[in-house]
């Protein structure tokens, strides 16, 4: 169990390079919402988010799933 726990600590302390471009906005108090959704539901989920949060800005999709970002 120790290797798993130490692995979690290492992974949680490693900066996510994909979040860098959003860091300034998050520092200003903006909320970053990242959604993991099946490809065939992307448009549906996008519409739902914009219905509830019309001020939300959409920054697109990322089709890659890196093991260690």
Identify whether 38 is part of a domain.
Answer: yes
Identify whether 12 is part of a domain.
Answer: no
Give the pLDDT confidence of 1-41 residue by residue, as tens digits. Answer: 445 555 555 555 667 777 888 889 989 999 888 888 888 99
Please give the structure tokens belonging to residue 28. Answer: 């200003």
Q: If we measure between CA atoms, which residue out of 49, 43, 53 comes closest to residue 61?
A: 43
Q: How many distinct structural domains can be found in the chain? A: 1
pLDDT band at 66 (very low <50, low <70, confident <90, very high): low
Written as one string, the DSSP assignment of 20-48 is GGGHHHHHTTPPP------GGGHHHHHHH
Place of tokens 């999709």: 61
Identify whether 69 is part of a domain.
Answer: yes
- Across the range 29-54, mean pLDDT stands at 90
- Across the range 46-50, mean pLDDT stands at 93
Please tell me which residue, 3 or 59, carries the higher pLDDT value: 59
Identify whether 64 is part of a domain.
Answer: yes
Identify whether 68 is part of a domain.
Answer: yes
The pTM score is 0.60
Identify whether 2 is part of a domain.
Answer: no
Q: If we measure between CA atoms, which residue out of 34, 4, 30 comes closest to residue 16?
A: 34
The domain of 55 spans 17-69
């Amino acid at each position: 169990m120790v290797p798993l726990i130490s692995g979690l600590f290492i992974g949680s302390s490693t900066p996510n390079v994909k979040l860098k471009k959003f860091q300034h906005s998050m520092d200003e108090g903006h909320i970053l919402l990242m959604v993991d959704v099946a490809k065939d539901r992307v448009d549906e989920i996008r519409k739902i988010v914009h219905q509830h949060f019309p001020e939300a800005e959409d920054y697109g999709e990322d089709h890659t799933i890196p093991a260690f970002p």
